[in-house]
Amino acid sequence: MPELPEVETVVRDLRSLLIDRVLGAVRLGAHSLRRPWDDVWSTELLGRRVQSLRRRGKWIVVELDSGGRVLLHLGMTGQLTVHDDDSPLATHTHWIVPLDDGRELRFRDVRRFGSAEFHTDETALLAFFTAQQLGPEPFDLEPTQWADRLRGSSRALKAILLDQSVVAGVGNIYADESLFEARLRPTKRGDRTSRPEAERLRLAVVAVLTRAIAARGSTIRDYVGGSGLQGGFQNELRVYGRTGEPCRVCQRPIRVQRLAGRSTHSCPGCQT
């Protein structure tokens, strides 16, 4: 599933391609995404100009000159890219929006867990995020509040990092990588984490995500950015997906275990 670095890369790629573009009539594929597109939303988009794009957690927000907001989520296999309108339409393309420069914004999603929907204004969008209990961005975590949140939970650190109400945008890949960076076991309980350890983890999350964004995210299977280019951070992963391989630091084999419903990778030597 695309996580924060991948979604941020898509947003950065699409800004130069979409801002100031006027949207045409939405076309839909034969199958709907996770939430069916409402025909009323097509009317709201038609003729509107894109003012800006931003990311919130794993969500993409397209702001329109009407005040409306298009909210997109890539799900597990979503690809949001711009193409010339006469280029072949890839299979599993479910949502197409013509642009006034002869190109199209296309949403392709093999597994159809992604979504595209419309919100009338920023207030409606914020209400949606509130209902989702979406937590703060990793870059905005306040150290004391973060430490208190960890120490108030008996869950494993891996489970806490995956909880989008605690911190938005972190998923399985970057939770594993951040815990390795912080030299903390994924099974360590939040309420048994010292304040120095909590701060180490906070800084590790920021450091890992920053490096991943610089590398355009990780292409593990079919992720591509908004320009169609793949990510490169998969070549720098130190634990995720490296089961049985030697740790790049201590040479002990990377282990995998099931935790919080997800495959969790760690080094038994470096993470204590």
Together in a domain, 42 and 119: yes
Point out the catalytic residue in the list 12, 151, 183, 262: 262
Q: Give residue 264's pLDDT.
A: 98
Together in a domain, 107 and 146: no
Decide which of 131, 154, 178 is a domain's last residue.
131
Question: In what order do the strands lie in the sheet containing 27-28?
Answer: 27-28, 93-98, 103-109, 78-84
Is 188 an annotated catalytic residue?
Answer: no
101 in a structural domain: yes
3-state SS string for 191-252? HHCCHHHHHHHHHHHHHHHHHHHHCCCCCCCCCCCCCCCCCCHHHCCCCCCCCCCECCCCCC
Residue 226 has pLDDT above 90, yes or no: no
164 in a structural domain: yes
Point out the catalytic residue in the list 55, 58, 202, 238: 58
Question: What CATH number is attached to the domain comprising 154?
Answer: 1.10.8.50
178 in a structural domain: yes
d(CA 261, CA 159): 9
Q: Which two tokens stand for residue 45?
A: 């988009």
Average pLDDT, the chain: 96
Together in a domain, 43 and 163: no
Together in a domain, 74 and 93: yes
d(CA 154, CA 157): 9
Together in a domain, 22 and 46: yes
Point out the catalytic residue in the list 3, 6, 63, 177: 3
Decide which of 108, 131, 154 is a domain's last residue.
131
Asked if 141 and 167 touch (Cβ cutoff 8 Å), the reply is yes
170 in a structural domain: yes
245 in a structural domain: yes
Residue 228 has pLDDT above 90, yes or no: no
168 in a structural domain: yes
Query: If we measure between CA atoms, which residue out of 143, 206, 144 comes closest to residue 178?
Result: 206
Together in a domain, 119 and 153: no
Question: What CATH number is attached to the domain comprising 60?
Answer: 3.20.190.10
pTM: 0.95
Query: If we measure between CA atoms, which residue out of 86, 89, 90, 56 comes closest to residue 73?
Result: 56
d(CA 240, CA 102): 41
Together in a domain, 18 and 93: yes
Q: Which two tokens stand for residue 83?
A: 């193409």
Together in a domain, 198 and 94: no
Longest distance between any two alpha carbons in the chain, whole Å: 58
Indicate the SS3 state at residue 13: helix
Is 58 an annotated catalytic residue?
Answer: yes
Decide which of 113, 131, 149 is a domain's last residue.
131
Asked if 155 and 190 touch (Cβ cutoff 8 Å), the reply is yes
Asked if 232 and 216 touch (Cβ cutoff 8 Å), the reply is yes
pLDDT digit string, tens, across residues 49-67: 999 999 999 999 999 999 9
Q: Which residues pair with 55 in a beta bridge?
A: 60
Residue 109 pLDDT level (bands cut at 50, 70, 90): very high
Please state whether beta strands 103-109 and 262-266 pair in parallel, antiparallel, or not at all (unpaired): unpaired
Element (DSSP H or E) covering residue 256: strand 255-259
pLDDT digit string, tens, across residues 112-145: 999 999 999 999 999 999 999 999 999 999 999 9
Residue 221 has pLDDT above 90, yes or no: no
pLDDT digit string, tens, across residues 233-257: 999 999 999 999 999 999 999 999 9
Residue 166 has pLDDT above 80, yes or no: yes
272 in a structural domain: no
Domain count, the chain: 2
Together in a domain, 157 and 71: no
Together in a domain, 174 and 237: yes
Together in a domain, 162 and 231: yes
Together in a domain, 62 and 166: no
271 in a structural domain: no
d(CA 108, CA 88): 13
Point out the catalytic residue in the list 2, 98, 138, 186: 2
d(CA 115, CA 71): 8
Domain membership of residue 211 as a residue range: 138-266
